[in-house]
Amino acid sequence: PKREVRRIAAEAGLPNHARKDSTGICFIGERPFREFLNRYLPKEPGPILTPQGMQLGTHIGLAYYTIGQRKGIGIGGTAGSDGKAWYVAQKDMRANALIVVQGHDHPLLLKPSLQARNASWISGAEPATGAVCTAKTRYRQADSGCTVTRSGNGELAVDFAQPHWGVTPGQSVVLYDGAVCLGGAIIAG
């Protein structure tokens, strides 16, 4: 759809039809994200660990990293025995440890389900329990088939038809029925 919008914009003579896509955070402007965080968050260094507990380096603070991040981890792009890139897989808040894995398809990056809270529905009413729809948890990510149910504690349980990549607590899960956005919620875990 974005390609089609750009084509229509070009035909209409709009000046920004060929403008590069933005993937940053609009309210910080053109400043680098890490520089922005430095102004507001203290650096709290801690270990960068493999799931087996081997320390590969030291991170500058868990707030500076996101699940699925590949660049800027600070341990070398493919350092390790198998030559695959490193990805942030988990944040251990209690130990202030950043857990990294090698390979885009590592099992720790794939989740069969998620829990979400603070749901907001476009129509004002949530879908029926057991509704089959699609979900997206990252910008530019393909929709994933899922089933949505209300769990006992008021949270949503989203069960994916196939394991979903890079589920990140604190980010949003957005639910769709075809091209119609049903609503979303904040990923709890």
- pLDDT digit string, tens, across residues 153-175: 779 999 999 999 999 999 999 99
Residues 96 and 127 grouped into a single domain? no
Are residues 93 and 16 located together in one domain of the fold?
Answer: yes
Residues 157 and 65 in one domain: no
20, 52: one domain: yes
Helix (H) or strand (E) holding 8: helix 2-11
Whether the CB-CB separation of 135 and 119 falls below 8 Å is answered with no
Please list the ranges in the chain whose pLDDT falls under 70.
1-2, 17, 19-34, 36-38, 77-81
- Cα distance between residue 154 and residue 151, in whole Å: 6
Token pair for residue 149?
A: 């149910």
Question: What's the domain count of the chain?
Answer: 2
Q: Note the residue count of the chain.
A: 189
Is there a single domain that holds both residue 8 and residue 90?
yes
CATH of the domain at 80: 2.30.30.280
Q: Do 97 and 129 have their domain in common?
A: no
pLDDT at position 79 is 59
* Domain residue limits at 172: 109-187
Q: In this structure, which long-range contacts are made by residues 13-16, counting pairs with CB atoms below 8 Å and at least 24 apart in sequence?
A: none
**Per-residue model confidence (pLDDT) at position 90:** 96
* pLDDT value at residue 40: 73
- Say if strands 156-165 and 144-150 run parallel, antiparallel, or are unpaired: antiparallel
Q: Which of 47, 76, 104 is the last residue of a domain?
A: 104
End residue of a domain, out of 104, 137, 168: 104
Asked if 106 and 87 count as a contact pair (C-beta separation under 8 A), the reply is yes
In degrees, rounded to 5, the angle at the alpha carbon of residue 172 between the alpha carbons of residues 4 and 68 is 85
pLDDT at 27: 43
Residue where a domain terminates, one of 86, 104, 122:
104
Q: How far is CA 147 from the centre of its chain?
A: 19
